Structure 1
Amino acid sequence: MDMFMTAEFWIAVGQIIMIDILLGGDNAVVIALACRKLPARQRTQGILWGTAGAIVLRVVLIFFALTLLKISFLKLVGAALLIWIGIKLLLPEDEDEH
């Protein structure tokens, strides 16, 4: 619980959140496509609420991810799964499995 009180923790969380928001440009495209046929007033509200919802959801999910990364050996399990997926992608496919 003491880690939540340090400045380094909150700086790291802030950096992760800002990077995530900056790289989330695909959200803007999806929101724009969803709101394109709405009347002007509803379009503005849809864009504002959609953007706010996307940002809040990202922040909440980042906190969950940070909490999960504190679990012992979770990074090791994740690395093993990524290696397994990489090996499966590199192996030739059987063409009879259709």
Structure 2
Amino acid sequence: MPELSVSLNKIWIHRTEYLKVVEVREGSRQKFYSYTYTVKSRMGWLPCVRWDNYEQQPHVDKYDENGALLEQRPCREKELAEVVKLVKIFRRNLSAMDISQL
């Protein structure tokens, strides 16, 4: 039986923005991923957008300025490099976009 491995990383986008990365692999196969774009506000660090495949259903979550979930939409599987590129290009505009189509 292949071994499970969990990786946790933080990729800084700007001094007040980072991407929190959680990946679970079974051997060479990715079982789970969660990429959360997080921004600093007066209330601390809050999630803005999260891509994940919880229960093998890829989707994107959008959060409001208080960190409360606004909506969840299905999307296609995302690779970390693709998410980093999207976040670096669109940054704080992500919350106003229909990112499930990107």
Where on the TM-score scale, by shorter chain, does this alignment land: which range?
under 0.3
Q: State the structure with bigger RCO (CA 8 A, min sep 6), 1 or 2.
A: 1
Higher strand share: 2
Larger radius of gyration: 1
Higher helix share: 1
- TM-score under structure 2 length normalisation: 0.25
